[in-house]
Amino acid sequence: VSAFFFMGGLYAAAIRLGLPSISGPRLYADAGGLLSYGMDDRDNFKLSAAHVVKVANGVSPATLPVERPTQFQLTVNLKTAAALGLRLPQDLLLRADTTIE
């Protein structure tokens, strides 16, 4: 929780300075970043859970393949865009999986 408040302060400072910010995890857009584009956390948890089940069933962790994320999520924070005085392209907004109003 304290990291979330730290990020909120970091993004508040970026907004005061007029700096747009882009990050990977959606958590950053939720904290006030302009955009985030990264792996979908739900998909990542599903992949992790599948590995846990395999290990619990006796599979050696060393034999498990490294898997890449298969789904990515674009989040646009419209409140931050407005605070920065930015007008985002309609194409970007249409491609966004989530917008924060």
Condensed to tens digits (0 to 9), the pLDDT of residues 24-72 reads 888 888 888 899 999 888 888 888 999 999 999 999 999 999 888 888 9
Work out the number of other CB atoms within 10 angstroms of the CB of residue 50: 12
Tell me, what's the pLDDT at 18? Answer: 86
Sheet holding 22-23, edge to edge: 22-23, 35-39, 72-77, 98-100
Query: How far, CA to CA in Å, does 50 sit from each of 36, 45, 65, 95?
Result: 26, 9, 12, 29
